[in-house]
Amino acid sequence: MNSNMTEQLDQLFRMWDRGLCPGAQVLIRQHGKTLYEKCFGYGNLENKLKIHKESIFHVASISKEFTVMSILLLWKEGKLDLDDNIKKYLDEYINIETPITIRQMMNNVSGLRDQWELLFLRGIKINDQIDMDDINTTISLQKSLNFEPQSQYLYSNTGFHLLALIVEKLSQMSFPQFVKERIFTPLGMTHSFVRESFTQIVPDLTYSYQDEGDDTFYYNPLNYALYGPTSVNTCASDLCKVLDEYIHPNVIDPEIIELMKKPVLLITHKLHGLDVFGHGGADAAYRGEIICIPEKKLELVLISNTTTYAMSKLADKAACIVLGLPDCTEPAVPEHENAPARSGVFLTALPDDPMFVDITEQNGTFYMQREWCRTELVKEEDGGYRIGSLDEKIYFTDNEILYRLPGRVLTLTPAEPVDPALFQEGTYYNDETDSFMKLVKVENTCEIHMRRHGKTTLYQSASGSIIFRMDANLVMYVKAENDTIIMDGGRIKHILYQKQ
């Protein structure tokens, strides 16, 4: 790699190199040779421990690649058929009558509701010590799907949890042990393992720190080890060994690799017409992205212990630099007339995932309320307002805001506390989460009260959306129909709460 390319990459990753801050491992290889390998920042801010080549990262949903590979190893041995109904193996957990297949779960077309939002409705919070039994119980409560299998695509962690259980049942081994013996050891991934318990001591583990763009970092703990969808712990040099297999299968059967590269097993997209295969991950403040471009024999691994960057966009930017291609990663902001900044609550509308943006003003300065703090909105030359140091911007118009996230632009409309006449006050129950909630009329609006989450106001936007936000992990669309309240989240749909 020439010095100019190195300088461009260093500049791209500069936010991981600003003093005492969390950071990342970056490893870029082409034609089997290392082009760029650097460690940035600190794995532990409290003790000022720098990230090094053998630092260990929780890589979140990148783990799913190893879950699917495990299933395909068993398929190759004839121990399962990918089109088997999962009740054949997991009848004790499945109370949904509609047949669901192994293949549909691998491809995220099963219709299974996602485990996370279901857990939150049950009153389990993200920083609780969540274990596999919590997920098993949550799944066994389900009687309905988001949609008929194969009719839509919607990412579901639940399916990968169930795939891990199938691996355990058919192999008569724990899932962590199976992955170690059948994948990590043969590939020489000596620093990799599936974490079995949040109490497990992990040498060289990096800690997780939230970056909200306000020049402060917040410790964001990870208190679970839920394998299948997540919980692989590893480092960049190990992850390159699995990317090698996607380009030149040597250890893993080529037929398995070809199935892995189907469009919905690995997350695929085009970059300047080139096929890109890979997967990202996000848990707590851990972020990661691994991609390969087989046509160019290019592999990129970026794993981080902070939320500073959107990693899929960053990986594509790095690939463009290495391949000498123009950057094509910035989302186009729709044409609009800029209006003065203003405070208020702004909401999305279906079919977008529910989002609640709260902007406040103090002494002429505007702030967005984030998960951990208020972050200042900084006006830029194009009339938009950057959210602190983050790769996010707000554009104000007369009737809405345009929220430019790293990879897309959302439209949100102003909202006010909901008209209480739209709802019936009382206690409501949902049997698929075994949870109660109260709807309480206060002053001239309504509040939702939930066990362990507390209470929050319902807001209605000018577009008609009604949303509540308990915290960053529990944001829902709400609709009233007679004595029923219907909730829709990002990955769970049509949750019915009946008035008691």
Average pLDDT over residues 64-90: 97
Residues 6 or more apart in contact with residue 336 via CB below 8 angstroms: 395, 397, 402
Per-residue pLDDT, 266: 67
Per-residue pLDDT, 261: 82
Query: Which residue intervals of 193-285 are DSSP H helices?
Result: 236-247, 254-260
Average pLDDT over residues 296-305: 97
Q: Which two tokens stand for residue 339?
A: 């209006």
Mean pLDDT taken over the chain:
96
CB 438 within 8 A of CB 427: yes
Per-residue pLDDT, 184: 98
Residue 299: which of 282, 280, 315 has the closest Cα? 315
Per-residue pLDDT, 476: 98
Average pLDDT over residues 98-126: 97
Average pLDDT over residues 247-272: 85
Q: What is the pLDDT of residues 410-463, one digit of tens each?
A: 999 999 999 999 999 999 999 999 999 999 999 899 999 999 999 999 999 988
Residue 263 pLDDT exceeds 80:
no
Per-residue pLDDT, 1: 63
E strands, 318-387, are 344-347, 356-362, 365-369, 374-379, 385-387
CB 165 within 8 A of CB 154: no
Q: Which two tokens stand for residue 313?
A: 């966009």
Q: What is the pLDDT of residues 156-187, one digit of tens each?
A: 999 999 999 999 999 999 999 999 999 999 99
Greatest C-alpha distance within the chain: 69
Report the Cα–Cα distance between both ends of the chain, in Å, rounded: 67
Average pLDDT over residues 240-246: 95
Q: What is the pLDDT of residues 276-296, one digit of tens each?
A: 998 999 999 999 999 999 999
Average pLDDT over residues 354-366: 97
Burial level of 172, CB count in 10 A (0-12/13-18/19+)? exposed
